[in-house]
A and B are shown apart, each in its own frame.
Chain A
Amino acid sequence: MLSDSEKNLRIIGTQIHYYFICKTKLWLFSHHIQMEQESDLVSLGKLLHEKSYKEEKEYTIDNLISIDFIKKQGCLELHEVKKSRKMKKSHEYQLLYYMYYLKQKKGIENIKGVINYPKIRKKITIDLDESKEKELMDVIADIGNILDMDTPKPQRMKICRKCAYFEFCWV
C-alpha cells in the first residue's frame, strides 16, 4: 500500500507529465474526473504498459520512481531510455522531479539525470542545480494555477484519438 504522501508524490509525477501533453487532461485528472478503464482499447493499452514496465523497468523506488537503469560513478545517475524526443519536456521535468524527490526524501545530494535516445544516439544530461530546481518549482506552481481555474478548453491534437478523455472532451 502507498501511504498518502507517497500517493501524492505519484500524482504530482503524473501531473507534471500531463502538464506538458495536455492542460485539459491535467485539469480533469486532478479534479478526479477520471475515465473508467473499460473499453477494450484502454485496457489493451494498460496491459501493454504494465507488461513493458515488467520487462524494461529495472528500478522502482518507493513505488513512485521507475527508472530504466541506474549507474553509480561518484554520483547517482538515473537513466531513462526514450524512443523519441517528442515529449522531451515532459521527460525532462519528470526526471527532475524524481531527482528532487530523492534529494528531499532520501537526502541524496549528488544526483544526475540522463535521458538516452538510442535511436538518434543522443543523450541529455540534467543536473538538479538551483536554476533547474527553480524551474521545476515554477512548473508545479503553474500546475496549481491551472487547477484553480475553470476547465481549460480542449485543443484538438493527434493524441486525442487515443486519449481516455476523447469522448468526454469532444461530445
Chain B
Amino acid sequence: MKKNYYLMSDGMLKRRENTVYFVNKDGKKPIPINKIYSIYAYGSLTFSSQAIHLLAKEGIPVHFFNYYGYYDGSFYPREKLLSGDLIINQAEHYLDHEKRIFIAKKFVEGAAKNMEKVLKYYHLENQISTILPELDGCNIITEVMNVEGRIRADYYRKMNEILPENFNFDKRVKRPPENMINALISFGNSMVYSTVLSEIYNTQLNPTISYLHEPSERRFSLALDLSEIFKPILVDRLIFYLVNKRMLSEDDFEKDLNYCLLNDRGRKIFIKEYDERLKKTIKHRELNRKVSYKRLIRLESYKLIKHLLGSKEYKPFVMWW
C-alpha cells in the first residue's frame, strides 16, 4: 500500500533509478517510488530535477509547509485523469448561481453536522441545530458564510469545556495563532487541506473550481471546500485526544509575545497521530466494506462528481458513530 511521507527535517530529494532518496544531515534514506502516495515537507526541501521528473511521471503531489508549519503550496503534477465533460459540468455548477449555492450550502451543512457530532460525543449542549436551518433563507454566498461563521463561533466557545484550563482560548485567531489551541487548529487544518488536495488529484475533479469559497481565494479552492467537512473529524477530535490524554503539553509549543507554534517535538507527535487516523478504518454503511478515513475523502469527491454529472444529488458526509 502507498503511504504518505512526512519529511520533518531539511534535506534534498535525489533519484537513482526508480528510487527516491531523502538526503539530510543524518544520511540517505531510500523511498521506493511505488510506495509514495504524497509527500509532506516541513523542513526546507530541495530537489534534483531527476527526482521531480519521477514524481511528476508517477503523479505524486508534494505539499510544502514553511518554518511555522503553515501550508505554503503544492507541487501538483500535471493531471493524469482528465474528463472534459466533467470540467464543463464543474464550471457550469459554479456559473449557475442556484447550482452553486446548493453545493455551497451542502458543504456548510456537512461541516456543521460533523461539529455537532464532535460536541455530542462530549455531551455538550449547543446551538448548531438551531442556527443551521437559517441556511434555507440564504440567497447569496456571503449569507451562507455568515451562517457558517456563527455556527463556528458557537462551536469554538464550546470547545473550551472539553479542554483543560491551560488550553482554553477566547477566539479563533489564524495568523499568527496566539495560543496553543489556535496553533493546533491552524496546523491541523493545513494538513487536512493537503490531504484533501491529494485525494482530488486522484480524481477527475479540477481543484481550482470551488463553490463555497471563491476560486480566487486560493489556487486549489475546491480543497478548501471539501476540507470543511473533514476538519471537525480529522483535526478537532485529534486535538481533544492529544490534549486530554496529555500527549501534548505546554512544552511542545514555542511561545513568543505575538505567536504560539508547535515545536519540532509537538509536530512529530501531531503528525504521527494524524497519519494513524487517516489509516484507521470504519465499516462503510452503503458500501458494506471497510474504508479508511482517508478514503472517505476520496468517496466525497466521487459523490461530488456524481452530483456534477447529474447522476445523484450530493449529500455531505456526516459521521454516524
Q: What is the interface of chain A, defined by CB distance below 8 A to chain B?
A: 31-34, 36, 38, 40, 150-151, 153, 166-168, 170-171
Contacts and interface: CB of A to CB of B under 8 A. Distances in A.
A151 B311 contact: yes
Interface in B185-225: 202-204
B309 A151 contact: yes
Nearest 9 CB-CB pairings of A with B: A32-B83, A151-B311, A171-B299, A31-B85, A168-B302, A36-B202, A151-B309, A150-B310, A171-B302
B81 interface: yes
Given A151-B309, A151-B311, A168-B306, A32 B85 contact: yes
B257 interface: no
A32 B204 contact: yes
21 contacts: A31-B309, A32-B82, A32-B83, A32-B84, A32-B204, A33-B83, A33-B204, A34-B81, A36-B202, A36-B203, A40-B1, A151-B309, A151-B310, A153-B311, A167-B302, A168-B302, A168-B306, A170-B287, A171-B286, A171-B287, A171-B303
Contacts of A151: 306, 309-311
A38 B295 CA distance: 12
Contacts of A153: 311
Interface string B267-308: 000000000000000001011010100010011001101100
B233 interface: no
Contacts of A168: 302, 305-306
B202 A38 contact: yes
Interface residues of B, number: 26
A34 B268 CA distance: 36
- Report which residue of A31, A40, A150, A171 has the largest number of chain B beta carbons within 10 angstroms of its beta carbon: A171
A34 to B, nearest CB: 7
Interface of B: 1-2, 81-86, 202-204, 284, 286-287, 289, 291, 295, 298-299, 302-303, 305-306, 309-311
Contacts of A167: 287, 289, 291, 295, 298-299, 302
Contacts, number: 51
Contacts of B298: 167
Task: Name, among B284, B305, B311, the residue most crowded by chain A CB atoms within 10 Å (CB to CB).
Answer: B311
B86 A33 contact: yes
Interface of A is mostly: loop
Contacts of B85: 31-32
A24 to B, nearest CB: 9
A150 B303 CA distance: 16
B286 A170 contact: yes
A31 B306 CA distance: 12
A31 B204 CA distance: 11
B309 to A, nearest CB: 5
B172 to A, nearest CB: 32
A84 B283 CA distance: 35
A36 B286 CA distance: 21
Contacts of B289: 167
A80 B204 CA distance: 35
A23 B287 CA distance: 20
Nearest to B86: A33
A11 to B, nearest CB: 14
Given A36-B81, A153-B311, A171-B286, A31 B86 contact: yes
Contacts of B2: 38
Contact of B311 (A32, A34, A150, A170): A150
